[in-house]
Amino acid sequence: MKNKYELSPMDSWLSFSPGKGMNLTPQLQEKWIQKARDFRKMRGDILTASFEVENLLDEIMSEVFFPGLSTALEENQNETAVAAYLSNSVLKNVFDTVFLKTSANTFGRKIGLFRNVSKEVRALRDLLSEQLLLDLKRCVEIRNAFGHAPITFEVVGEDENRDFAALILVSGEIVELDNALSDGYKALFVSLTSALRLTSEKLRLNSQREGNSPLSRDGMIWFGHAALTDDSWQVKDPNKPIDLRDFYLRGSRPNLKLDVTFSTDDEEGDAEDQVKREPERDSPPGNNHT
């Protein structure tokens, strides 16, 4: 069989070219039915292994965004630590429910997200090999085939040597299923599961979640004026042109400081007008920190 359109639309059916014939004996019928049982079990094994891979991906992604929540809180923690753990657990559950584990996030899409996150989060990227990412891609192809494509049987051999070849479409290519291929698929999933489980364990031991940033290692500070965020485009008090309430700062990361000197035309550089401003990361416009 060379054309994918010759494959049966129904699982475990036989495929013939027009004009062909077959003498179906009870023995041949039993062989056909047994082959169907065997390959349906293989389908179930592949799908079960895929579920495990997907669950491990979910576990790793959750650990990336919510470090430390994959394991139970250690005993004898203070109230602040317990409150933070419970609060973050709520956020993690929301993340899982409305994003990570929704029907829109298919197995293939999760692997794409996994690859993209690994590019941005060094702690994860350092744990992955290119081969693991390739194996994930192959895993999706195999899972999709066994999750959506029927298996077609084609009669091979003559007379008492008649048998059935099992064919399935994997990533656009007709593949003949046999014991060697089945063992190869199983080995792939076993290897991948072990690698992902090890990745998850190592990630839990690394509390750092440093990501890529186009900014310098020292960070950046942005200095803004409240008049640029409203419709008036004016200072709050025209009689007081320099008013600390009119300014805000934003930093690319915590603990950045900026020395700002405010002066008037009358007393330029007066020491009493000098203030040290400390921006807060992702502070909303209009927040002032002195």
% residues pLDDT > 70 (the chain): 83
Rounded to 10 degrees, the C-alpha dihedral 144/146/147/149 comes to: 90
The DSSP annotation for 9-41 comes to: SSTTEEE--TT------HHHHHHHHHHHHHHHH
pLDDT in tens, 216-269: 567 788 888 877 776 667 776 777 767 777 777 788 777 788 787 777 665 544
Domain map (residue ranges) of the chain: 4-205, 221-281
The secondary structure element, H or E, covering residue 177 is strand 173-177
Most confident of 35-49, 207-221, 239-253: 35-49
CA nearest neighbour of 139 among 96, 61, 191: 191
Query: 260 with 242: CB under 8 angstroms?
Result: no
pLDDT in tens, 50-67: 999 999 999 999 888 888
% residues pLDDT > 90 (the chain): 44
What is the average per-residue pLDDT within 103-111? 89
Instruction: Specify the pTM.
Output: 0.69
